[in-house]
Structure 1
Amino acid sequence: MGNRLGGGGFGPPRGRRRAAASPEGGAAGPADDASSEAAAALDDPEAAARDICLRALTGTAKTRRQLEELLARKEIPDDAAAAVLDRFGEVGLIDDAAFARAWVDSRQASRGLSRRALKSELRAKGVDCEDADQALALVGDQDEWDAARRLVARRVSGLRRVDRETAHRRLLGMLARKGYGSGLAGIVVREALDAEWEADEPSAADTDQGLDAFLP
């Protein structure tokens, strides 16, 4: 009987593979990893799909569509991918509705994006209309106005060196890239520029005091 601790008939546990060594004797490189994944996908596609999805979900949530696309790139058969993704959905590892809520909360707070821009991003990530609309309902009209005003307030002081028309155009462009419509953007920009330019203009009292120096 072979030596259980040595080189007898006991290899690695079935379904798992030893790390492949590079020709130089070091750790496996990207090409070796890709080859191992391809081999695993042929031997046990569902196990390979589970491993790929678990790695992808480490540290960050993903939508079902994102994981579908990842598995397709890894050449996992469609039926194996669907089985694993269905199971992940059942146990809560994939939750597009929760993903959409977290995405909207984070992007609206950190980037000041409008609901229109947020909906476009969710659509690109494969979130369906119902889940997207429920998440976007968390952003009210006042939230959009406040976010737009914060965005403009951060930029307007840096435009003091240009004329008002140029500042107006640049601020409108910035809000448009964030998904804001022209109506809301025009009002917010006009408010900010009025306040900024008025702050630079001398008041009537200041003007009178300046004239007093030339009067007898």
Structure 2
Amino acid sequence: MPMLSAVLRPTRSRALALSAPLLLVTALTGCSSAPVAPAALYDFGLAPAAASGVRLPTALRVADVAGPSWMDGNAIYYRLAYAQSQRTDAYANSRWVESPVSLFDARLRNAAAARGQVVGYAGQEVPMLRVELVDFSQVFDQPGASRGVVRLRATVFKSREVVDQRVVQADAPAPSADAAGGVAALTQASDRAIGEVLDWVAGLQLTARTPTAASQPTVRAR
């Protein structure tokens, strides 16, 4: 029996020695699986219920909204203009549900459809609106004061020719100096920019003019 107990002692020590790394791995695994706060996801919210602004004089085709490559993701960008205006940063735990280009595209189409008829086909007599986003960010002019800035270039084509082009910038104050405030400001600025673009389109001469009696040539009898 003494010999048996002597044999068992090193076996138990060896088991404890082998189990120590396993306990350490288990502890580390438990730490790595600790819950991480999910990112807050934002969109533009519900579109305005009632249409406002001048109605479109003709059916309109809306091309896919374009934007620079840095807008392809779903990051919410901000700029500290008071410190380094050439630098942009993104919020760590806040995201758009999809790219701001896609969100703006859907908002533009809904607003255009509320003012007239939006078609998906191309034709010589159907004017086309193309919008390119240039800037879409929350700008901090002071540490506690920011605004949403939406800048775009809008072009109207008809029969493959440029009818007119315009650059639009819309700003809206942010209610808070955080991602939620930036989202609210950018949504409001987007609606303002879209409204200005559609008012501009509605004022263009996009329909064929009907000759008046005064403008028609006079045929004299011989």
- TMscore range, shorter length: under 0.3
TM-score (norm 2): 0.25
Taking CA–CA contacts closer than 8 Å with sequence separation of 6 or more, which of the two structures ends up with the larger relative contact order? 2
More strand by proportion, 1 or 2? 2
**Which structure has the bigger radius of gyration?**
2
More helix by proportion, 1 or 2? 1
TM-score (norm 1): 0.26
